[in-house]
Chains A and B, each alone.
Chain A
Amino acid sequence: GAVVSQHPSWVICKSGTSVKIECRSLDFQATTMFWYRQFPKQSLMLMATSNEGSKATYEQGVEKDKFLINHASLTLSTLTVTSAHPEDSSFYICSAPRKGPGANVLTFGAGSRLTVL
């Protein structure tokens, strides 16, 4: 079945540094990928829609200069948290839609837990 690989699964960094998270669709092409953020014991908040070959679409309130998204190929999207601060610590999850009977079905990566010291 469809697999989305997310890397790294966890990362600890110092405040002020940048962190890149990769999201790969392993056995299908994804012209669109979604990036979510999840705080402890809360739901997933859609941050942005990553579009292959064009600019990402950010949700209201999400800083595009803070969370850089690049979708350079049909199987890879990256999220870079720039100048990370402790408040950016969170669980970041990517997903890619694959066509299923009647509707798109999102395949999720396993998530990346970011801790900013």
Chain B
Amino acid sequence: QTVVTQEPSLTVSPGGTVTLTCASSTGAVTSGCWPIWFQQKPGQAPRSLIYRTSDKHSWTPARFSGSLLGGKAALTLSAVQPEDEAEYYCLLYYGGVQPWVLGGGTKVTVL
């Protein structure tokens, strides 16, 4: 069974920068995995931020960016704002019988 691993939690100061990563048990994450990043705040539905590694939606704040870093998908939050405190999830595409696998999420605390 494929497992996608994210940091359970990260803490960042307001105005700082933090990078979240998304690793695959099958090996390096590539652009072919179509990495997707979601943000979820308590009591709210998830909101999509990044798709196909680094593409942004029209509503995605400029301070969010996606990339591949050291064999993992990465989400970087720059100039972090208090409202960025949330849970962040990555979703990777593998095709086959179970085509997508979701990471366990990273709780980002802004402190």
Is B truly associated with A?
Answer: no
Chain A contacts to B: CB under 8 angstroms: none
Chain B contacts to A: CB under 8 angstroms: none
